[in-house]
Structure 1
Amino acid sequence: MEKLPKVALPVIVVAIILVIVLAKSAVTIGSGEAGVLYKTFDNGVVTDAPPLGEGFHIVAPWNKVIIYEVRQQELFEKMKVLSSNGLDIILETTAWYMPKSVDLGRLHQEKGENYLDRIIKPALRSAARSVVGRYTPEQLYSSKRDIIQSEIFDETKKILDNQYIVLNDVLVRDVTLPATIKDAIERKLKQEQESLEYEFRLVTAAKEAEKVIIEAQGKADANRILSASLTDKILQDKGIEATIKLSESPNSKVIVIGSGDSGMPIILGNQ
């Protein structure tokens, strides 16, 4: 076996060192991520420059890059809270959040990679307890759901705005009440619905009765006016008109000129 030239060994060693250095220096940041640069010999975390964006980067081998996901993320939280009258309520929420990319260095320096458990979850729980504590179980179960959701979002956002985190939305997925309270509320809502339906039927019946009375009054007024306008003279004129039309009819008949007790011509008969 031939011995390697004396110059080959140093070259191989240098090449190995270069490969190691390059491997330590090369950083690839994926889609939806950003990197916080930590300079070991220069004041640690870089906070006065934007984080490293997506793609391939070369950094000094003695420095580090901490990669964060900066796209929108989802947090599902199920918690026990108290209503205004002290009853236990199970609240299920979903929050959509993302770190502020421009402040990623400060987030890492002040909160750390575990900012979800350190900041977001406590903020969401605190806001939920504060908001739910203002309402009764009945309000939570029915009419106030959207308002509660909006208030939890506003209070959580107020906390997170100064924590380098963007809160996009909060959704109240479900409100679970004690079984006895839920049953009582449902019975009450059913009774209220039945009461509204009964009132509606009463109003409808009253309107129908009013309509019948108005129609009857109208007919009575019309008959009274008609009766008052039918004088003997008018009746005679109408009778004469009818007699003339009868006489002009092609049907055979016998007409006696004269008048009966009413003053109208007498028709004896026809064939």
Structure 2
Amino acid sequence: MFVLSILLLIAAIILFFVGRSRGEGGWKLGAALSALGGVLAGVFACVHVVSAYEVGVPATFGKVGTPLTSGVHFRSPFTDVTSFSTRPVDLNLNDKDVVEVRSSQGGVLYADVTVKWAVVPAKAVELYRLAGSAEAVQERLVLPDSREIVRNVFAKHTSEEGYASAREQIGSEIATLVRERLASRGIDVTAVNLRNVRPSDTLQDQIDKKIQQEQATQRATEAARTAEAEAERRRIEAEGIARANRILERSLSDQVLYNQCLEAYQQAARANPVYAVPCGTGSGGTPVIVDGTGN
């Protein structure tokens, strides 16, 4: 715009002198219009409008100035203004951009992460010096830093912790580190979401084999526990029987057995006339006879 202004002013001067030499009013009118156009172009070249939700960083001959907030600003025609959007931006690390990480055991995992970030207006100058443009902020700062932190955090945990037991803790740790890293560079991270973690095919096979081995071990342990309990039950039962036999052995005598035998045959004699009792003999060697009366 400034170059156009210079060209229009030069054209106005040429038209003015040509018109004066020829004495024709048309040339002078053209000179006046060219001069007006040059002045307007010069004015527009010195005016810069910063849109809402943007911040501008002016640079004049390599010297960076104070950030420009939203509104109309007058500047030198030799000043270039680089605009940075202050709206939140989502960086989605999924699909082809998914982060490939390794656990402390060497297993490969794939993590889907979303980083929501925005430019801090007061630190736009630092971002301009680091990235150079709004488009480069995400590619040069947010993306590589986020990937590095995600990989470093997962490397401190096992595979099982990465996709299951410590997933929430890992997500919180990633969010904290990303915020701290990017805040010093003029980027405000409002949210970091660890949306999904899945193992690689090789790691999934290893996980399935481990689960099968654990299940087999549990079945074997349960079988051993059952056998041990059954053996203990039989031991206790055998000890009880042996103890009862010892008690019974101490309590029985020949006379007790003789009397019990007689009682049994006395009961049988009630249904039959006479029994010769094979329980022994009487005191004189005479066989014991039990008649129908039970005597």
TM-score range, shorter chain: 0.5 to 0.7
Give the unaligned 5+ runs of structure 2: 1-22, 220-295
> Cα offset for 1:106?
2.4
1:26 matched to 2:30? no
1:58 matched to 2:78? no
SS in 2 for 1:31: coil
1:123 matched to 2:145? yes
Q: Output the amino acid matched with 2:111.
A: L
> Cα offset for 1:122?
1.7
- In structure 2, distance between residues paired with 1:32 and 1:106: 18
Q: What do the CA deviations read for 1:210-233 (whole angstroms, capped 9, x no partner)?
A: xxxxxxxxxxxxxxxxxxxxxxxx
- In structure 2, distance between residues paired with 1:4 and 1:90: 78
- In structure 2, distance between residues paired with 1:34 and 1:85: 46
> Cα offset for 1:62?
1.7
SS in 2 for 1:8: helix
Match of 1:174 in 2: 196
Q: Is the 8 A contact 2:126 2:185 kept in 1?
A: no
Q: Output the amino acid matched with 1:63.
A: T
Match of 1:203 in 2: none
Match of 2:248 in 1: none
The alignment of Structure 1 onto Structure 2 pairs a total of residues equal to 188
Q: Output the amino acid matched with 1:122.
A: P
- In structure 1, distance between residues paired with 2:47 and 2:65: 18
Give the one of 86, 94, 100 matched to 1:70.
86
- In structure 1, distance between residues paired with 2:170 and 2:26: 79
1:156 matched to 2:178? yes
- In structure 2, distance between residues paired with 1:151 and 1:165: 18
- In structure 1, distance between residues paired with 2:42 and 2:202: 68
> Cα offset for 1:67?
0.8
- In structure 1, distance between residues paired with 2:205 and 2:140: 38
Match of 1:11 in 2: 32
- In structure 2, distance between residues paired with 1:11 and 1:82: 73
Q: TM-score, normalised by structure 1?
A: 0.61
> Cα offset for 1:3?
4.5
- In structure 2, distance between residues paired with 1:11 and 1:109: 44
> Cα offset for 1:173?
1.4
1:36 matched to 2:36? no
Q: What do the CA deviations read for 1:228-260 (whole angstroms, capped 9, x no partner)?
A: xxxxxxxxxxxxxxxxxxxxxxxxxxxxxxxxx
- In structure 2, distance between residues paired with 1:95 and 1:10: 58
Match of 1:211 in 2: none
Q: Output the amino acid matched with 2:88.
A: Q
Give the one of 105, 117, 124 matched to 1:85.
105
1:45 matched to 2:67? no
> Cα offset for 1:89?
1.1
Q: Identity of paired residues, percent?
A: 23
Q: Is the 8 A contact 2:113 2:195 kept in 1?
A: yes
> Cα offset for 1:5?
4.7
Q: What's the RMSD between the two structures over aligned residues? A: 2.9
SS in 2 for 1:142: helix
Q: Radius of gyration: which is bigger?
A: 2
- In structure 2, distance between residues paired with 1:172 and 1:31: 31
Q: Is the 8 A contact 2:52 2:70 kept in 1?
A: yes
Q: Is the 8 A contact 2:108 2:203 kept in 1?
A: no
Match of 1:245 in 2: none
Q: Output the amino acid matched with 2:110.
A: I
- In structure 2, distance between residues paired with 1:74 and 1:100: 15
Q: Output the amino acid matched with 1:8.
A: L
Q: Comparing 173-182 with 132-141, which one deviates more in the overlay?
A: 173-182
Q: How does 1:179-190 map to 2 (within 5 A)?
A: 179=201, 181-182=203-204, 185=207, 187=211
